[in-house]
Amino acid sequence: MKKFFLLLTLFCLSSVCFAQDLLDMPKPKSLIEDKANIFTSSERYSMEQSLMAINDSTSTQIMILTLSDLEGNDASSLATDLGHKWGVGQDGKDNGILILIKPKLSQRDRGQVFIAVGYGLEGIIPDAIAKTIVDKEMLPFFSRGMMYRGVSSAIDVLASLASKEFTAKEYVNKKANPLLGGMLSFMFVIFIFAIISLSSRRRTVVDGKSFETRSSILPWLLLGSMGNGGGFGGGSSGGGFGGGGGGGFGGFGGGGFGGGGAGGSW
């Protein structure tokens, strides 16, 4: 019996040490800490440039952390504690986001992700919205091994919400009714096409006879110009925040976290 309690004590102590090891990780010097090596060098560079641009233009800091093993830690607690300890976000604004990813390394393994949201963003990105982003933007890509696409899609939405480009309600409605949005866009294109087609009709007189003609190129030019219509997410890193970050990463600003956010697994 004494041996049993001794082994149990040693096991508990080792678990505490493992958890402490992860919490004692040094503060990252960039907005991406890919310890699980799930991104290529070009993917890391692209995302880092986008995250730097978001930081420079909005002061919101989004940190990406990947770990091959959570070592017994709960993903939500670890993400929240690290975000708070490192001070992701700005002091006084608490506008930091830490995305923790533990990839699925085998068929029997379980991948995990958690989006920890700083105090100051909890009203803009409540838990239910963070959960929708995980379920709609990340897990569909993660389940197919497309880690970069999933993270990029989430970054697009998080940055747009944080900058108030669109509201949480608008995002939810778009995700709940994707066909409706597409149908309205299609009907709008048809309407514009009809207007231009009718307005471009003209009458031509040849040898005393009148003919009705129309210009057919304008509607197609219109359709072509609308081909780059926007949306929510989609896997292009940084969305409207692409481009260089205007210099090196200056460090985290002292933001605070209190447990807001949501996660999922695959």
Whole-number pLDDT of residue 13: 42
Whole-number pLDDT of residue 175: 80
Find all residues with CB under 8 Å of 146, minimum gap 6, and list them. 235
Please give the model's pTM, rounded to 2 decimal places: 0.73
Q: Is the dihedral of CA 106, 107, 110, 115 positive or negative?
A: positive
CA atoms within 13 Å, Cβ hemisphere of 260: 21
Whole-number pLDDT of residue 21: 85
Lookup result for tokens 């209190």: 258
Q: 3.10.310.50, 3.30.429.10, 1.10.630.10, 3.40.50.300: which CATH number matches 20-166+233-265?
A: 3.10.310.50
Whole-number pLDDT of residue 255: 96
Tokens of 105: 């390394």
d(CA 245, CA 52): 4
DSSP state of 119: G
* SS3 per-residue string spanning 7-36: HHHHHHHHHHHHHHHHHCCCCCCCCEEECC
Find all residues with CB under 8 Å of 163, minimum gap 6, and list them. 54, 57, 58, 60
Whole-number pLDDT of residue 119: 96
Whole-number pLDDT of residue 185: 54
Where exactly are the structural domains of the chain?
Answer: 20-166+233-265, 177-225
Angle between helices 147-162 and 168-176 (to 10 degrees): 140
Whole-number pLDDT of residue 249: 83
Whole-number pLDDT of residue 5: 44
Residue ranges in the chain whose pLDDT is less than 70: 1-20, 177-247
Whole-number pLDDT of residue 73: 96
Check: CB of residue 85 under 8 Å from CB of residue 23: yes
* SS3 per-residue string spanning 121-137: HCCCCCHHHHHHHHHHH
SS3 144: coil
- What one-character-per-residue DSSP string does 46-111 give? HHHHHHHHHHHHH--EEEEEE-S--TT--HHHHHHHHHHHHT-SBTTT--EEEEEEE---SSS---
